[in-house]
Amino acid sequence: MLSRYKSWMHTPEALAKHFIAYNAKFLGNTEVDQPKGTEVVKDAVRKLKFQRHIKKSEGQKTPKVELQISIYGVKILDPKSKDVLYNCQLHRISFCADDKTDKRIFTFICKDSESNKHLCYVFDSEKCAEEITLTIGQAFDLAYKKFLESGGKDVETRKQIGGLQKRIQELENENSDLKRQLKNLEEQLMIAKVQPADSVSSKSPTDVFDMIPFSTVTPLVPVPANNGKPPPPPARPADPKKDLFGAEPFDPFICGAADFPPDIQSKLDEMQEGFKMGLTLEGTVFSLDPLDGHC
């Protein structure tokens, strides 16, 4: 563990009532077998450095994070959105050290609250690796002094605070998800508003058989202006001998012999002969008068 220092870098109030923030690159975390030990963190550092080297060769950059250190723990946040990525409570951190061979690297081991596994977190800070390690050590020292002053009662309070911090982190994550969903909906709404008018179909509504429904209303046809003159009479057919459908009227007495079959033509001939004989009868009078003696 860290050696005790007589003087620290920060005031006790800064860590007890507030927090100290640092920016660093986050290489990741990995499970370890032991809660402490220099060799344990060295193995974790080598493993995560190798994984980061592979990701870097694939074009992935090392993510940047913000560390907030206080007597209650170490929070790892996204520097832009301020979303809490990890909340490592101080009483769960069992080891903290910087790498003496690589001055940019510092680590700490924390027991996960859900899986109860020991995870080693590894960070890269070009200028502040040792300072961040000392700040975590100062937070431990202040928390221990507060524990002695409270006679051990502060342990239960810290557990309650830890539970509340976990619930706050869950709510913050839910809030971030809702913000992302709201942003996606706003983008979809903007796309729908700027959609070109040509993309809207001008096709008439159809029924289930893809047919235009029948309407008894006659469509309105614009009538050209006549400058105050009465409307012209309706146009008549060019050929008066034809009917409305353009066909010649049927007259059985003027049809030619070749227009009908032989049996029908013979009946027509008999009708024509009988009609002519009735017109040429002389001396025969047909009367409907009862006083007339002729019948």
Q: 188-228, pLDDT tens digit by residue?
A: 888 887 766 555 455 556 665 666 666 655 555 555 555 55
pTM for the whole thing?
A: 0.52
User: What pLDDT is stored for residue 192 in this prediction?
Assistant: 83
| Pairwise CA distance, residues 173 & 165, whole Å | 12
Residue 139 has pLDDT above 60, yes or no: yes
Shortest CA distance to 29 belongs to which of 14, 17, 13, 41? 41
pLDDT at 75: 95
69 versus 274: the higher-pLDDT residue is 69
**pLDDT of 33 higher than 90:** yes
Please indicate whether residue 129 or residue 246 has the higher confidence score (pLDDT). Answer: 129
Could you tell me if 108 and 95 are in contact, meaning their C-beta atoms sit under 8 angstroms apart? yes
Burial class (CB in 10 A: 0-12, 13-18, 19+), 42: middle
pLDDT at 122: 96
268 pLDDT tier (thresholds 50, 70, 90): low
End-to-end CA separation in angstroms for the chain? 150
Percent of the chain at pLDDT exceeding 70: 61
Q: What average pLDDT does the segment 240-260 reach?
A: 59
Return the amino acid letter for 178: L
Comparing C-alpha atoms, which of 64, 55, 37, 209 is closest to residue 120?
A: 37
- Tell me what pLDDT residue 276 has: 60
Averaging pLDDT over each range in 60-74, 147-161, 230-244, which range is the top one? 60-74
The confidence score (pLDDT) of residue 94 equals 93
Q: Regarding predicted confidence, which is higher, 278 or 58?
A: 58
- C-alpha span between 174 and 182 (Å, rounded): 12
Under the banding of pLDDT at 50, 70 and 90, the label for residue 148 is confident
**Rounded distance between C-alpha atoms, residue 143 and residue 16, angstroms:** 8
Predicted local distance difference test score (pLDDT) of residue 243: 63
**pLDDT for 283 beyond 90:** no
pLDDT of residue 269: 73
Return the pLDDT at 153. 60
Task: Report pLDDT for 287.
Answer: 44
